[in-house]
């Protein structure tokens, strides 16, 4: 069996692409750099992170992008001996959607991707369809900011001219959506003479769904599936997988059909209300898969509309990938599953040496411009992360340590800093809904000047707790426990949190160094380990 999710941790909006006997899934990365994650599989069951195609500022200029802005839903295809990647850069996503849609190409999936070609700015979730005869079309939802309209104006299509490297003609609205509204995430597939339009509807939260329409003409009109939506968890609040939507179809060489889509695994809590009933998704929106069968020319999900944790695997030969090390020694470079915020890892941010990773302090953890922070995704709600840091601060404005991070206004850090009366200290700093809590009573530990220190965080589905050690053998836990569910888009978007709402990512664990004096004081981290434990 295949166990869902197939790609764990924050990996939303999966776009699946087949080339020869390889399967690739591209997912959104929002404000994290480099942009877009591409995972690779031979059997649809075992996946490995292969590439980050948007690894240059010219391809993904994210400086100053708001939390949960940046690289939104992507579309990955292969045609004409090259890979095509279409993506959005969302600059502002509150009342208005200030977005730019781009196209990049590459001859090899893990090779160098070209400079971006601007497409349009009318809405997000662009995709590229390669029609018979060689024509190409760009689709995207058209965002409608007017209050009496349900998020968008419909799905737009426009021809892309490869020679001119631009859209030509006028865009046309080909689909206004169903009663579920909030129609987005369009992709077209030409199958047995029909153009099938797969969309996401119902919003990006618990009502998220996959809907299908079809037409014999790419320009429509489109008739809707007789049993839409084909996938949703809205009517099953206790299902293991929630928020299922944003689907992408693929046919294997064994003539089997599968649907990839985003899904979340919530933490349930006592209480009344939508989020208490449905849960809080600290792991963010992950990537799942279901098998498809066809009936009367329409696709259906095997097992019904609700996504299953276990599904039938394909007839493809299984190919397993080796697991990476749990302990990443930074002197060997930054692992592929580690990312930075908004800007690339350069000499301004840090350097790699025999001692490990040195981060030069930049702006605060509040900043949406230049931070020195390197982190990886939570992939489980039961793990231990650990690092060893050497840091000699000279001011309370300098700090470095281990953190659990959702966005710039929601995070917790165990860090080494300085107090003018006590000298070098270890302390907890917490930020919830932009409200800073420091110092946290009972969290301060005096640290000898010049000493190295080990930092650890233990995470489970209820709480996470920090600890420290001077020798890496004997650990002292700090008495404060933090709620794991608060590192979730569901908690952050609750109405009482006000302007810090609109969250679409997931929790990360990593290391950081801040120097609000602007002197770029450096902290050296020897390693970061991430070890999952049994529930």
Rounded Cα distance between 241 and 231, Å, is: 11
Residue in 399, 382, 368, 373 with CA at minimum distance from that of residue 511: 373
State both tokens at 241. Answer: 């997988």
- Could you tell me if 157 and 108 are in contact, meaning their C-beta atoms sit under 8 angstroms apart? no
pLDDT number for residue 494: 65
Class of domain 2-311 as given by CATH: mainly beta
The secondary structure of 30-41, three-state, reads: ECEECECEEEEE
State both tokens at 428. Answer: 């907890």
- For 365, residues 6+ apart whose C-beta sits below 8 A from its C-beta are 371, 373, 403, 405, 408, 411, 413, 431, 512, 514
Rounded Cα distance between 208 and 171, Å, is: 26
Catalytic residue among 43, 67, 125, 184: 184
The secondary structure of 396-431, three-state, reads: CCEEEEEEEEEECCEEEEEEEEEECCCEEEEEEEEE
The reported pTM is 0.96
Enumerate the CATH 2.60.120.200 domain ranges in the chain, comma separated: 327-532
| Interstrand relation of 166-175 and 194-201 (parallel, antiparallel or unpaired) | unpaired
Cis peptide leading into 34, omega within 30 of 0?
yes
Count CB neighbours of 68 within 10 A.
Answer: 20
Rounded Cα distance between 460 and 458, Å, is: 7
Residue in 428, 434, 391 with CA at minimum distance from that of residue 412: 428
- For 179, residues 6+ apart whose C-beta sits below 8 A from its C-beta are none
Class of domain 327-532 as given by CATH: mainly beta
pLDDT number for residue 145: 87
pLDDT number for residue 387: 98
Active site residue 80: no
Rounded Cα distance between 15 and 53, Å, is: 14
Catalytic residue among 13, 43, 67, 490: 13
Rounded Cα distance between 66 and 520, Å, is: 24
Active site residue 13: yes
| Burial class of 156 by CB neighbour count within 10 A (0 to 12, 13 to 18, 19+) | buried
Rounded Cα distance between 229 and 514, Å, is: 47
Per-residue tens of pLDDT for the chain, all 535 residues: 999 999 999 999 999 999 999 999 999 999 999 999 999 999 999 999 999 999 999 999 999 999 999 999 999 999 999 999 999 999 999 888 999 999 999 999 999 999 999 999 999 999 999 999 999 999 999 999 886 666 679 999 999 999 999 999 999 999 999 999 999 999 999 999 999 999 999 998 999 999 999 999 999 999 999 999 999 999 999 999 999 999 999 999 999 999 999 999 999 887 766 677 889 999 999 999 999 999 999 999 999 999 999 999 999 999 999 888 899 999 999 999 999 999 999 999 999 999 999 999 999 999 999 999 999 999 999 999 999 999 999 999 999 999 999 999 999 999 999 999 999 999 999 999 888 887 677 778 888 877 799 999 999 999 999 999 999 999 999 999 999 999 999 998 864 444 444 689 999 999 999 999 999 999 999 999 999 998 7
């Amino acid at each position: 069996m295949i166990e869902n999710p197939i790609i764990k941790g924050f990996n939303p909006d999966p776009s699946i692409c087949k080339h020869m006997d390889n399967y690739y899934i591209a997912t959104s990365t929002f404000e994290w750099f480099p942009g877009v994650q591409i995972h690779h599989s031979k059997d649809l069951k075992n996946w490995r992170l292969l590439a980050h195609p948007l690894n240059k500022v010219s391809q993904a200029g994210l400086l100053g992008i708001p939390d949960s802005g940046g690289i939104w839903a992507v579309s990955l295809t292969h045609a004409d001996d090259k890979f095509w990647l279409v993506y959005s850069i969302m600059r502002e996503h509150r009342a208005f959607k200030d977005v730019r849609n781009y196209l990049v190409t590459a001859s090899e999936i893990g090779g160098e991707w070209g400079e971006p070609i601007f497409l349009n700015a009318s809405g997000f979730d662009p995709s590229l369809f390669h029609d018979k005869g060689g024509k190409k079309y760009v689709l995207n939802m058209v965002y409608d900011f007017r209050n009496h309209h349900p998020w968008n104006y419909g799905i737009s299509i426009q021809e892309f001219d490869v020679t001119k490297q631009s859209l030509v003609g006028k865009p046309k609205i080909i689909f206004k959506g169903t009663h579920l509204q909030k129609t987005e995430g369009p992709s077209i597939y030409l199958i047995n003479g029909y153009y099938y339009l797969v969309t996401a509807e119902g919003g990006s939260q618990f009502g998220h769904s996959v809907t299908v329409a079809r037409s014999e003409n790419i320009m429509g009109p489109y008739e809707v599936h007789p049993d839409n939506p084909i996938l949703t968890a809205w009517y099953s609040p206790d299902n293991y997988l929630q928020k299922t939507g944003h689907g992408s179809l693929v046919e294997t060489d064994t003539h089997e059909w599968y649907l990839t889509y985003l899904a979340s695994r919530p933490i349930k809590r006592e209480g009344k209300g939508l989020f208490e009933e449905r849960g809080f998704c600290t792991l963010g929106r992950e990537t799942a898969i279901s098998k498809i069968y066809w009936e009367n020319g329409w696709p259906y999900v095997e097992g019904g509309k609700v996504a299953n944790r276990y599904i039938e695997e394909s007839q493809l030969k299984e190919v397993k990938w080796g697991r990476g090390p749990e302990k990443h020694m930074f002197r060997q470079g930054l692992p592929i599953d580690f990312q930075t915020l908004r800007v690339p890892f350069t000499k301004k941010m840090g350097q790699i040496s025999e001692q490990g990773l040195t981060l030069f302090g930049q702006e605060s953890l509040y900043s949406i411009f230049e931070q020195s922070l390197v982190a990886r995704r939570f992939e489980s709600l039961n793990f231990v992360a650990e690092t060893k840091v050497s840091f000699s601060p000279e001011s309370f404005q300098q700090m470095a340590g281990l953190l659990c991070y959702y966005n710039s206004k929601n995070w917790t850090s165990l860090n080494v800093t300085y107090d003018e009366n006590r000298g070098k200290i270890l302390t907890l700093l917490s930020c919830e809904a932009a409200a800073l809590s420091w110092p946290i009573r009972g969290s301060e530990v005096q640290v000898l000047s010049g000493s190295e220190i080990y930092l650890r965080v233990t995470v489970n589905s209820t709480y996470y707790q920090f600890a420290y050690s001077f020798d890496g053998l004997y650990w002292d836990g700090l008495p404060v426990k933090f709620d794991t569910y608060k590192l979730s888009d569901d908690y952050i978007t609750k109405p009482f949190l006000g302007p810090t709402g609109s969250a679409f990512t997931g929790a990360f664990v990593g290391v950081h160094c801040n120097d609000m004096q602007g002197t770029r004081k450096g902290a050296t981290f020897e390693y970061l380990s991430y070890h999952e434990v049994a529930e």
